[in-house]
Chain A
C-alpha cells in the first residue's frame, strides 16, 4: 500500500525567495513519484516525475525534486519564486508494479507568493 504526506497545507514565500514544498511517502514497493500543480479553476498539470535513474528530477517552470530513498522523501524546490507560481501543489505516489493503477495523492499544499 502507498500513502503520501505533504507537510504544510499552506506555504507563503516572498517573490524571489526559495520555494520548498515537502512530501514524504510510504510504499511497500519501489515507488513512482509525481508532483502536480493546480491553478484556480483548472485541472491538475504534471510538473515532474521520478520513475527510475537520476534521483534529481527537473520539471517545468524551473521546479525540481529529489528522490531520497533513505528519507522516503520527494521534496519540491524552486530557487526563486515568481508570482505566477501561486497555485496548489500535489504530491502523488504509485507502486512500481506492472499494471498498478492507483495513484495516491497527498492533501495538497497551497503556495502563496508575496510581492
Chain B
C-alpha cells in the first residue's frame, strides 16, 4: 500500500544547480500539493494542483516551478537552487471532497550549499 511516494529521500546541491523532486500517488486522488517544512514555521504551501492539468501558487512559490504530469504525478523543480531553499519538502494528495484529509509522503531532505 504505497500511498504517496517521493524521490529522492535526500539530496545535496550546490548553489545554482537545478533539480526536480518527484511525487507519485496511487490513490486516484485529484488534488496534489507541495509543502516545505522549516523549524518553527510549520508547513508552508508552495504549489498545488486541484486536478490534472491545473496548478496554482501557494504561500511561498518564488524560486519553484511545478508540473502535473498526469493524475498520479506532481513534480517540483528548483531551477537555480539557493541556500534559502534548504528544507524538507513534502508532497501530499487528497480526494475529491474538502472534508477529506491530505495524505503525505515521507519527505525529501534537501540541502543547498
A residues sitting closer than 8 Å to B (CB atoms) are 9, 32, 34, 36, 41-46, 49, 51-52, 90, 94-103, 105-108
Q: Given A43-B104, A99-B50, A105 and B98 touching (CB < 8 A)?
A: no
B81: min CB distance to chain A, Å: 22
Q: Is the CB of B101 within 8 A of A49?
A: yes
Chain B CB within 10 A, most for which of A43, A46, A51: A43
Q: Is the interface of A mostly helix, strand, loop or mixed?
A: loop
Give the distance in Å from the alpha carbon of A16 to the alpha carbon of B45 in the complex: 36
Q: Is the CB of B48 within 8 A of A101?
A: yes
Interface residues on B, range: 20 to 34
Q: Chain B contacts of A95 at CB under 8 A?
A: 98
Q: Given A43-B105, A44-B104, A98 and B98 touching (CB < 8 A)?
A: yes
Q: Is the CB of B43 within 8 A of A101?
A: no
Smallest CB-CB separation from A47: which chain B residue? B101
Q: Chain B contacts of A43 at CB under 8 A?
A: 4, 90, 104-107
Q: Is the CB of A105 within 8 A of B42?
A: yes
Give the distance in Å from the alpha carbon of A49 to the alpha carbon of B48 in the complex: 21
Q: Is the CB of A101 within 8 A of B31?
A: yes
Q: Is the CB of B43 within 8 A of A105?
A: yes
